[in-house]
Structures are given as structure tokens and as C-alpha cells.
Amino acid sequence: MSIWGKVAVAGVYEHPTRYAPDKTQYQIHAESARGALEDAGLTLKDVDGLFTSGVGPIGILSLAQHLTLRPCYMDSQAIGGSSFVSHCLHAAAAIDAGLCSVALVTYGSLASSERFAVGTGGGFLGDPPDNFEGPFGPTIVGSYAMVAQRHMHEYGTTSEQLAEIAVTMRRHAGMNPQAKYRDPITVEDVLASRIISSPLHLLDCCIISDGGGALVLTSAARARDLRKPPVVILGGAEAVQHHGIGRRDLLDIAARQSGPLAFQRAGLKHADVDMCMVYDSYTITVLATLEALGFCKPGEGGAFCSAGRIGLGGALPLNTDGGGLSSNHPGMRGIFLVIEATKQLRGEKGAAQVKNAEIALCHGTGGMLGQRHSGVTLLLGRA
Amino acid sequence: MSEKPYKKPLPRIDEESRGFWEALQRHELYVQRCRSCSTTRFYPRAVCTECMSSEVEWVRCSGRGTVYSFTVTHQNQAPGFREELPYVLAIVELAEGPRVMTNVVGCSPDAVTVGMAVEVVFEDVTAEVTLAKFRPVG
């Protein structure tokens, strides 16, 4: 008895804001919830499962109060930006098990208007591993940069190849009226932007925006009677990677564990995937993730991402909304991966539509790629 | 010890790691080895994750290693670091095996490469805390 194919994403909403000093974080949660429930043709009264992240240790209780919800299932998974992709897996299991019937996932953040230094701030939590890292000044971008440096050393990957990923995301953002940055950029622009943490330049890094979004999940059977075509969860898996006792290969990332498991659970092959939504916190994140998921061999990511393959019209369009590199990144981008994939599978994307998109892969990365991070892979399909 | 107030985060010295930090105060670098299954581990912890034994011994390191990866940090808003930009954050593979996070010091950031041979240099940052950093050999 598996849960795969039995639970659907029935409603999605991406908050249009990219800068909202006139709003609160919880307001963005609520406005996003309204949008996703309206998209599904459901109301707040139907919700009996609540999922969120980025709200503080018992913040989900505050969110329940703010929405006046009394759910019988709650999950405030906190594994970084991938948390919302993980919520979809957890909601699928909970709905199939009968623990809840309508799951609402919400996200809201004012990272931009509160001038929160997402990738280049301090961040010392005092957990055991932090004591052996924090004193030396790791930043989030620095952690990813060490993966990029090692990748360049082992495989000869170039800054030009990484830059091409940023250029492609910007091209996609040009087709998204809500994207924060829409003007085209070139490889030369990326290379000319200042170094934040070598070898990563400013334009290798995701932007910082405000924003939020919401998802509504329910059984595939119930979703068939709702407003929009259901998008079903065909398979998925989550993983964590870390240095353990100090032996880690920096290029062995969590996606190498979650990817094959997700494909196996869905009974799908890479060739079945029509498009990808891959967390693009940095250009290296995309390259390393595609390799780890098995779309190309280790070391071939640079060549794989060039020549238009991951652009709209290419063999494997990726981040068709412009991604975190150009559209929006309020700190934890995972929810937008599922929102965009759902819109693509419904055929709602107009000029940015991937033709005949039937299967989409989402992969969220959370935490610090060169230290501790999560990876969650989700395979979605038309019902 | 630095004359200016030290602003960077300090490690929390706890019962699992006290021996490591006390050795650094003596300018000695140690990793742990399980007495039961001989697995070497870093960072220090009470229970071996290979065999779950609590029997542990400390192994003194040569202080030699190679740069496994690094980044020259040009932006970090955190106090203590923002005054020292750019600095080199690195993962060094110790001759004894474990890979540790550190800073490479004592050379221009531009001179650091993956695979570079380095040796430990002890930096007394407060009365209680000494950090193991690394500099190019020779």
C-alpha cells in the first residue's frame, strides 16, 4: 500500500509582492492562504491540517490563532528552504493515513523590507557542530562557495558555466511580470559583478525579496471535484547530508540520496521528467543538484546546464519562473518550486509554458550545502 | 591575546568537547579515537557512531594537513568578521583523516589553493579559547 498518486495539490498561490514594508509576515501568510483556498475552491473552514515553517519554535500555534484555525494535524518542519517541499510529502502521508483531509501549507517573509542578511549574516546557533565552525566565520554563501571551489578543482567547472545558469534564470524572469529582476544579463555581467565569496559573484547568488505563498493538498479523489485540475504527488523522498565524523565528500549532497529514492517510489525515469524546479540559492546549487539527482554524471553539470538545455524551449526547462536568482527569494524558497510546477502541469503559464508538461520534478535544498543541509525531491504529475 | 575586545562567536565548551579545547589552550591539536572499534572522529563527542561505545581516547595530531576546499569571504556582516574582510574560510583535511573547518592565515588570500599543504597555528583569542588555524607550510 503506497501513498503515491493518491494525494493531490489542489490549490496554489504565489503572493505577488516582492517588497512589502506595509504588510506583516502573518498577513502574507493569511493573504496567501486565501489565494490558495480560492484557487482550490475551498474555504478556511475546510482546513484540518496546518503546515508552515520559518515562524519560530512554536510559531505554528500563533499562525493557527492568526488564521483562527484548530487543525487536527500540524507540522512546522524546520529543515531550511526545502521545508515546504517536505510538507507536501508529510501531508501526502497524513492525508492518505486519514490524519487530516485538507492540508494548508503557508509561508510569509519580510526578508527584504526588514533588511535581513540571509546569506551573509552571522547565524551562530550554538548546536554542537556550530562550536567547531562558527568561530571561523562561515556564511551561507561561503558554505555553497566551498562546494563550488571543490567542484572546479575536481572537474574543471568554470565560472562561465555557473554564470550561464544565472543568465538562463534571468531570461525566464523576463517572462514573469512579478519577478523582482527582469532585465536580461549576460555571462560577462555575472563575471563582472563583485565577488561575494569566491568563486561566487553577486549574480551567482539568489536575490533577497519579501514574499510568500500557499498550497492546498487533499486526496486525489476529492481534488477531482474541485475547481482546478489536480496535480498528484507521484513520489518523493527527503534526505540530510553533513560532515558526520569529519569524512564528507563535499560534492556528495543530499539530493544523491533523495533523488533515486523519489524516482524509485514514483516508478519513473529521468527521461520521463518534462521540467524541473530546483532550488537555486546559488548557481552551484543547480549544477550540483542536477548531477546528484542523476540527470547527468558527476562533473558534467557545467556542460549540461549550457547551450540552452535548462532554458524554456530546451530539453529540460528549469525554474521557469526565474527562480530565486531573479524572481523572488524571501529566505526559504521551497514553496515556490511546488507552486510553479503545479501551474506548469495545469498548463497555466502562457508564454512561459513548457509544452505538454506532464511530469515535473521539484528539489528543495535547505541549510548549508557545504555543511549540514536537507534535500527533498518531489515528483508531480497530471492526474 | 588580542587587545581589542573579541567580537566573533566563541565556542561553547561542554562536557563532550572540554578535552579538545583544553588541549588547544596548551597548543596541542587532538582528535578522538574509539577504544572499541578504533574509528577516528571529529568533532569530539561522547558516543562512537560506528559502534556506540563510550570508550574513547585522544590522539594527538601532527598539525599537518592539506586544503580540501576554501572560499575567500568578501562579505560577512557579522561583528568581528566584517572588520577583517577578505578572509579565507577553509576545510582542511588533517593528516590523521578528519576534515575540519578553519581559517587559512599567514598568506595572501589569493595564494590559497585546493591541495595546498598547511600546518596548524594556534590563536589564543580569549583566556579560555584557543583556535586551530592553518598557514602554508614553509
pLDDT single digits (tens) B124-133:
999 999 999 9
Mean pLDDT calculated for residue range A45-65: 96
Mean pLDDT calculated for residue range A9-19: 97
| pLDDT surpassing 50 at residue B10 | yes
Would you say residue A348 lies in a domain?
yes
| pLDDT surpassing 70 at residue A188 | yes
Would you say residue A280 lies in a domain?
yes
Query: Helix A159-173 to helix A283-293 angle, to the nearest 10 degrees?
Result: 100
pLDDT category, A120, cuts 50, 70, 90?
confident
- Residue A122 has a pLDDT of 61
Contacts of A117 in chain B (CB under 8 A): 77
Phi, then psi, of A85 in degrees rounded to 5: -70, -40
| pLDDT surpassing 90 at residue A126 | no
* Interface check A177 vs B, CB under 8 A: no
Contacts of A124 in chain B (CB under 8 A): 9, 78
The closest CB to that of A139, out of B16, B76, B102, belongs to B76
CB contact under 8 A, B49 and A136: no
A121: nearest CA partner in chain B: B77
CB contact under 8 A, B77 and A120: yes
pLDDT category, A117, cuts 50, 70, 90?
confident
SS3 A102: strand
Mean pLDDT calculated for residue range A311-332: 97
Q: Please give, rounded to a whole number of angstroms, the shortest distance from the CA of B43 to a CA of chain A.
A: 6
Would you say residue A170 lies in a domain?
no
The closest CB to that of B99, out of A142, A195, A246, belongs to A246
pLDDT category, A123, cuts 50, 70, 90?
low
Mean pLDDT calculated for residue range A2-10: 97
Which of A115, A143, A149, A206 would you mutate first to test chain B, the one with the most B CBs within 10 A? A149
| pLDDT surpassing 60 at residue A60 | yes
Contacts of A134 in chain B (CB under 8 A): 9, 11
Mean pLDDT calculated for residue range A236-265: 97
- Lowest mean pLDDT segment, chosen from A50-54, A177-181, A345-349, B1-5: B1-5
Would you say residue A156 lies in a domain?
no
| pLDDT surpassing 70 at residue A118 | yes
Would you say residue A261 lies in a domain?
yes
Residue A359 sits at the vertex; the CA angle it makes with A357 and A360, to the nearest 5 degrees, is 95
Chain centroid, CA A226 distance in Å: 26
Mean pLDDT calculated for residue range A21-37: 97
Q: Please give, rounded to a whole number of angstroms, the shortest distance from the CA of A197 to a CA of chain B.
A: 4
Q: DSSP secondary-structure letter at A350?
A: G
Would you say residue A160 lies in a domain?
no
Domain with A309 in it: what CATH number? 3.40.47.10
pLDDT category, B2, cuts 50, 70, 90?
very low
Residue A98 structural domain: 7-115+206-382
| pLDDT surpassing 60 at residue A360 | yes
Query: Helix A83-97 to helix A334-346 angle, to the nearest 10 degrees?
Result: 70
Mean pLDDT calculated for residue range A193-221: 98
CB contact under 8 A, A198 and B114: no
Would you say residue A321 lies in a domain?
yes
How far from A109 is each of A54, A119, A329, A362, B1, CA to CA, in Å? 8, 15, 9, 21, 41
* Interface check A115 vs B, CB under 8 A: no
Would you say residue A292 lies in a domain?
yes
A320-339 burial code (b ≥16 CB/10 A, e <16): bbbbbbbbbbbbbbbbbbbb
Number of domains in chain A: 1
pLDDT averaged over chain A? 96
Q: What are the tens digits of pLDDT across the range B89-104? A: 999 999 999 999 999 9
Q: Domains, chain B, ranges and CATH?
A: 14-60 (no CATH), 63-138 (2.40.50.840)
Q: DSSP secondary-structure letter at A327?
A: I
SS3 B87: strand
pLDDT category, B3, cuts 50, 70, 90?
low
For β-strands B40-41 and B56-60, DSSP reports them as unpaired
Share of chain A above pLDDT 70, in %: 99
